């Protein structure tokens, strides 16, 4: 089974639909399987005190103005849905509250995503699981108790899912990747496991691909110097194209683990062993 590659746009569009379309184009050009966004009802996710507090941004001087500026509404998501259909790429989003998951139900997305921050929200887990769409569950900032509860909820709802090994720092230090959690999670919970990476560079993602992940998610950006908290942990267009190409090569190179002499090796063996009594 090929690794399902997700280009995480998240909020790197900065509230600009043209930037979102450019990022979708980056994903399509690289050969990704899907793009992913994030959806929040800011009045549910943040306190009034925080929203009223000061924050300078391109949209104003308060936290509310900044966070509202990053959110798309129904018109923008309708356009995203149409554009992804036109470009023949799947899209979905991670909801950060029940209202946002209800909002996303308006669209015929094949997938759902539980963000690491939301794996402890039992109500959201049950709501997402009830939809029966294949769900990616990120496990950053989580204990085994958190993960087991989520797995049980999805299994009880008979909803297909896979876990994603995640370290929720932005950017993540390579030495914190702990990629051996990938086979551990697969063995412990008896399910497919992907990798959602927040590191700078591509090497850690290559290593994850060689450890048998079933999905790979990386944030993408047009330019890492753009405004936004996720930009520094994101991959620019040329890097993302390189990543997807390398992952496909790694998949092909992994093989099946059976030791055999290839037909193409036989004449070479005969030549290099002609001084020996050897037959293929």
Q: What is the pLDDT of residues 80-100, one digit of tens each?
A: 999 999 999 999 999 999 999
Q: Is the peptide bond before 171 cis (omega within 30 degrees of 0)?
A: yes
Looking at residue 19, what is its pLDDT? 98
Q: How many domains does the chain have?
A: 1
Looking at residue 50, what is its pLDDT? 98
Give residue 45's domain range.
Answer: 4-272
Examine residue 184 and state whether it is found in any structural domain, yes or no. yes
Looking at residue 280, what is its pLDDT? 64
Report how far residue 261's alpha carbon sits from residue 278's, in angstroms, rounded to the nearest whole number.
14
The whole model's pTM is what? 0.96
Question: In the chain, which stretches have pLDDT less than 50?
Answer: none
10 Å CB burial of residue 248 (0-12, 13-18, 19+) is middle
Looking at residue 1, what is its pLDDT? 80
Examine residue 90 and state whether it is found in any structural domain, yes or no. yes
Examine residue 277 and state whether it is found in any structural domain, yes or no. no
CATH number at residue 40: 3.20.20.70
Looking at residue 168, what is its pLDDT? 97
Nearest to 137 by CA among 156, 112, 157: 112
């Amino acid at each position: 089974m090929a690794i399902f590659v997700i280009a995480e746009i998240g909020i790197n569009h900065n509230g600009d639909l043209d930037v979102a379309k450019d990022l979708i184009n980056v994903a399509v050009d690289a050969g990704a399987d899907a793009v992913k966004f994030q959806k929040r009802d800011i009045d549910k996710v943040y306190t009034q005190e925080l929203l009223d507090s000061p924050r300078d941004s391109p949209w104003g001087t308060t936290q509310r103005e900044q966070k509202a500026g990053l959110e798309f509404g129904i018109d923008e998501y309708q356009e995203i849905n149409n554009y992804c259909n036109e470009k023949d790429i799947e899209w979905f989003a991670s909801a950060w509250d029940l209202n946002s998951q209800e909002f996303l139900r308006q669209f015929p997305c094949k997938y759902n995503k539980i963000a690491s921050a939301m794996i402890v929200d039992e109500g959201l887990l049950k709501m997402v699981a009830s939809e029966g769409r294949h769900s990616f569950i990120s496990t950053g900032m989580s204990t085994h108790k958190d993960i087991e509860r989520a797995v049980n909820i999805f299994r009880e709802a008979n909803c297909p899912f896979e876990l994603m090994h995640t370290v929720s720092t932005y950017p993540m230090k390579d030495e914190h990747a702990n990629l051996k959690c990938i086979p551990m999670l697969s063995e412990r919970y008896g399910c497919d496991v992907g990798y959602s990476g927040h590191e700078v560079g591509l090497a850690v993602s290559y290593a994850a691909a060689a450890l048998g992940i079933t999905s790979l998610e990386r944030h993408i950006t047009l330019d890492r110097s753009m405004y936004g908290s996720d930009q520094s942990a994101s991959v620019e267009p040329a890097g993302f194209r390189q990543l997807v190409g390398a992952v496909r090569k790694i998949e092909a190179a992994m093989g099946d683990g059976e030791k055999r002499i290839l037909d193409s090796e036989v004449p070479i063996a005969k030549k290099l062993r002609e001084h020996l009594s050897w037959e293929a």
